[in-house]
Amino acid sequence: MVDTIYTIEQAADVLHIKPRTMREWIRLGKVRAFKLGDLVRIHDEDLQEFIDSERRKSRRGSI
């Protein structure tokens, strides 16, 4: 099975945010990413983990 791997721009598009915001979230450790040479990539499961984490936070009323 092949994992889906996103560029910063693709991951930002999935979340309907700007790539600049995605870069900041990666820098802050909110979204896990890895380097492939000089390129930053995000695994689909790491992006989904971030989405699930944010969803849990919003259910607790900490928006």
What's the DSSP call for residue 30?
S
Q: Which element (helix H / strand E) includes 20? A: helix 19-28
**pTM, entire model:** 0.85
Q: What is the CATH number of the domain that holds 36?
A: 1.10.1660
Tell me the C-alpha distance between 62 and 43, whole Å.
26
Residues 6+ apart with CB under 8 A from 50: 25, 30, 31, 32
Task: Give 41's strand partners.
Answer: 7, 34
pLDDT digits (tens, 9 = 90+) for 18-36: 999 999 999 999 999 999 9
pLDDT digits (tens, 9 = 90+) for 33-48: 999 999 999 999 999 9
Q: Which element (helix H / strand E) includes 12? A: helix 8-15
More confident: 23 or 56: 23
Structural domain span for residue 35: 5-59
